[in-house]
A and B are shown apart, each in its own frame.
Chain A
Amino acid sequence: MEKRWKMALITVGVAAAFAGGLLFAQMRSGSYGSTNGASIGQGAAPELTPDAKYDVGPYRSFTPELAEGDGKLEVQSFCATCHSTRYITMQPPLPGATWEAEVNKMMKVYGAPVPEAAAKKITAYLQAHYAPENRKE
């Protein structure tokens, strides 16, 4: 008797599992993933006045995190005079010679007033963190 009951229970269980499996095979649902922080807030509409001044307010800064290392401070103080350091992180990994040429271009062609010692540190920093062999972020 007991054995029969057990057999019946197992049969019902297996049948239920099968039905469930078939049902599930039709679809997959209810998966939402984890919070990933990728949302951006909405800006409120500005208050406008009917005069001749057209102003959209400040543009936003999205300052990237730069790699830690010797020369970071020089990059943040000299390069960022004219442009955001996103000009560095936005680039693909560039060979050392290209970074050297870029720093020279900023000084000689665009006239960036960077002391020689600081320029050397900036070049070495970029070569140490933003070249194909070492770029991480």
Chain B
Amino acid sequence: MERMKRSLSRRNALKLLGATGGGLALASWTNWGRALAQVPNGAKQLESFTGPGANPHWNSVGPYVTEPQKAPLILVTDRPVQLETPRNYFRTVFTPNEAFYVRWHLGEIPNGVDLAEWKLRVEGNVNKPLAFSLSELMQKFKPASVAAVNQCSGNSRSRLQPRVPGGQWGNGAMGNAMWTGVRLRELLDAARVKSGSVQVQFEGLDTGAGPKGMGSNRFLKSLDLTNAALDETIVAYLMNGEPLPMLNGFPARLVVPGYFATYWTKSLAWIRVLEAPDENFWMKTAYRIPDTPRGTTTPEDMKAGKVKTVPIERMPVRSFLVSPDGSSKIPVGLGVTLRGMAFSGYGKVVKVEVSDDGGSSWRAAELGEDHGAYSFRSWEAPWTPKTPEKYSITVRATDEKGNVQPDEAVWNAGGYLWNKIEKQELVAGKAN
């Protein structure tokens, strides 16, 4: 770690300069010496943690690591695996499978699946319990596709003040894919749900070392059978037209468009119809938000026991500037394109606005192709810095329900629902 943290400090940089010959001493006449010290030259490492203040970076600060079927991604934790998608992968509306973020809850996650044995079971309060192999899922049901954003409930948790424990995600615990598979309602209809059923529960192949009956042993999520989100839910065996990576839930995962990823059970193996509401840990205790506007509260109210909570559901509207990312200066007068994407769990993004004065004045960005209500929507806006200075670029989105991204922070004990307007500093330099 110590070795990793060693960086090309200003003093070392100047020493290097000195060592390369007297002629270079002239450099100091032209201020190059000072400039050099600020150029990291690929050698300066990020800090190994952030806090107690907010994480100031777009992504979290972990090192890049490679896991099977994955491009180098940002390490959050290694057991169970949690990996964050670097910012540059959001330049495309569909996030590549190999770059798609990863978040598991329990330590024993599948390394392999034998499709000769694997079955998706539909059981519980049904007239006809069923079990399908992957080839049966492919052949017996007409494939359905949906473009949908999968976002971790705790995406951007490292922005909260005061900080809360949990996965310290930057903004990269999200991704958008074209998901293809079987409609959940068709599976439920085939099994003939008995009257008096209230919820449907989902369980995957992952298990934990904790005692039986505890949240550390099984990960279980449920939705009400009357929930309209189930009408759009599919059991996906294709992700962007390819098999799912093992770490993203091979051979099939639940896709609940508009909902946070906690419901998108990976390596789905059991669909269970329940007669009574699910009271397991992952529904009754975890993934709950304050029953307040925007799900925000204060540490004081939490401590005083004043906060009623409800299960987290749909994703609030968000938007991001993807490039330029602030890592390079832009010469004054050079016209560049601001690019990014936006999404909302409540419906289609209809407007994205950008500001280069920190949010005092806004102008509309041009929206990209519409891939459906639950997809990323790309946007772009031309921008020419007029004077050499530091600009604060901000972006905000509006969805078809009229939800406008606010400039106020969110705080809740789980670190969920962050959707404050994003700010990015861009530096324009002199062009002569």
Contacts and interface: CB of A to CB of B under 8 A. Distances in A.
Interface of A: 17, 20-21, 24-25, 28, 31-34, 36-38, 40, 42-43, 46, 51-65, 81-84, 86-87, 89-94, 98, 102, 109-113, 132, 135, 137
Given A20-B23, A61-B78, A82-B208, 19 more contacts: A34-B43, A40-B65, A43-B66, A52-B114, A53-B112, A54-B246, A54-B251, A56-B68, A56-B245, A56-B247, A58-B111, A59-B79, A82-B209, A83-B107, A84-B79, A86-B76, A90-B167, A93-B51, A109-B215
B214 A137 contact: no
B112 A94 contact: no
In which size bucket is the chain B interface?
Answer: 35 or more
B77 A86 contact: yes
B216 A111 contact: yes
B11 to A, nearest CB: 13
B6 A36 contact: yes
Nearest to A20: B23
Interface in B167-200: 167-168
Contacts of A87: 77
B364 interface: no
A25 B48 contact: no
Contact of B246 (A37, A56, A82): A56
Interface in B76-126: 76-81, 106-107, 109, 111-117
B292 interface: no
A60 to B, nearest CB: 6
12 contacts: A17-B23, A24-B32, A33-B8, A34-B8, A40-B65, A55-B111, A57-B68, A59-B78, A84-B79, A94-B52, A109-B285, A112-B216
Nearest to B163: A92
A59 B67 CA distance: 6
Interface in B1-28: 1, 3-4, 6-8, 16, 23-24, 26-27
A92 B6 contact: no
**Secondary structure of the B side of the interface?**
loop
B211 interface: yes
A109 B215 CA distance: 8
Contact of B51 (A21, A63, A92): A92
Contact of A33 (B42, B113, B250): B42
Nearest to A43: B66
A53 B134 CA distance: 13
A57 to B, nearest CB: 6
Interface in B55-87: 55, 62-69, 72, 75-81
B41 to A, nearest CB: 4
B30 A24 contact: yes
A19 B120 CA distance: 76
Going nearest first, the 6 A-B pairs with the smallest beta carbon separation are A92-B51, A55-B112, A56-B68, A110-B216, A84-B79, A52-B116
A25 B30 CA distance: 6
A32 B16 CA distance: 10
B281 interface: yes
B65 A60 contact: yes
A36 B79 contact: no
Given A21-B29, A112-B210, A63 B78 contact: yes
B69 to A, nearest CB: 6
Contacts of A20: 23, 26
B323 interface: no
B121 to A, nearest CB: 18
Contacts of A61: 78-79
Contact of A113 (B43, B167, B211, B217): B211
Nearest to A42: B66
A111 B218 CA distance: 12
B67 to A, nearest CB: 6
A110 B214 contact: yes
Contacts of A31: 16, 36, 41
Contacts of B378: none
